[in-house]
Amino acid sequence: MSDAAPSPTSSAATLPQLTAAHITCSRGMAGWLQANQVSLVFTSYQTGRLYLVGVDDGGGLAIHEVGTGRAMGVWADPQRLVLATPFQVWRFENILSSDQTAGGADRYYVPRVAHTTGELDIHDVSVLGDGRIVFVNTLYSCLSLLSPVHAFRVFWKPPFISKLAAEDRCHLNGLAVRDGEAAFVTATSRSDVVNGWRARRAEGGIVIDVASGAVVTEKLSMPHSPRWYGDQLWVLNSGTGQLGTVDLANGSFAPRAFCPGFLRGLAFHNGHAVVGLSLSRDGSFSGLPLDDEMKRRDADGWCGLQVVNLASGDIVQWIRIEGAVTELYDVAVLPGVRRPMAASFTDAEINNPLTFEQ
């Protein structure tokens, strides 16, 4: 595995053309996946796609694209995917045993359970240590669990939210799980009025300690994707384009790397961060410090993934998407998986294969 900067030479990926997108990657991207024995999963809510990234039999990058409707938060391990969509939370299960393949894939994820929540604008989703699925219920400004009867069960809400209402008051969006427990969340502001966060996009972004309800920091700009890794709290300071850590003692943010885009989606593997980038757009993404930083660096925005070496802060590999896909939401890693594929629940392939348990 090399920590050198990515070569300017890029290569095309193997991709079924479900959307009019052109995907290229750094020359070493497939080799990095092989060397680290990992595959990737990422979502695009803008085009309603789930993407699974691995390596084909010839050693090239293979990307499998699955139609899902508006795809948001994704949680993954080698055997299971949990995906948030417009009004449901889906659970996918790998149906292949260790000695089986399907179409060259060593994991084939099939949608098995769909839990209908209604339109909650779900953002991050995760699985707690006891197996319960927890999700960020952005519309109601709280963390929620699945309920067998109701749209959701309230798990936790920020202390400053005076009432649970379908008003997206603070734009709660991200969740970090630590030792199997919900530990930290991100929100765009402390606002307690309907859509109040929209006036606080450039500054005032917060991280909240779930256990205590204390605000750890309010010095960020539209933060997303908090993650606990290496005994540190990592956050994407999306409004500035920075990946960094938050000091739990004093709330300071220490930038580790700049990525040229609006950042959402963060996963870690073997001393590296995989970061999702989206193109800026008018409205929610405009008027942020990121605009000035991009001008200062004379940079064009990216949509895709960038792999950051945490020791150096360098971008060591990347996947870039151009064309119809301009916005991503989440990314996850699949350790020990070479080439993942999945069945779509939006077309006839959900009916096959029909496997059974002895």
Nearest CA among 64, 65, 59, 5 for reference residue 33: 59
pLDDT of residue 214: 97
In 3-state terms, what secondary structure has residue 334?
strand
All structural domains of the chain, each given as residue ranges with its CATH number in brackets, are 11-344 (2.120.10.30)
Ordered mean pLDDT values, 10 residues apiece, the chain (358 residues): 35 49 94 98 94 96 93 97 96 95 95 96 98 98 98 98 97 98 97 86 90 96 97 97 97 97 97 96 71 93 97 98 94 98 85 79
pLDDT of residue 105: 96
Distance CA 343, CA 107 (A): 11
How many H-runs (helices) and E-runs (strands) does the chain carry?
2, 27
pLDDT of residue 343: 93
pLDDT of residue 328: 97
pLDDT of residue 9: 41
Longest dimension (CA), the chain: 62
pLDDT of residue 6: 33
pLDDT of residue 109: 96
pLDDT tens column, 87-127 = 999 999 999 999 999 999 999 999 999 999 999 999 999 99
In 3-state terms, what secondary structure has residue 192?
coil
pLDDT of residue 282: 61
Q: Which residues pair with 84 in a beta bridge?
A: 89
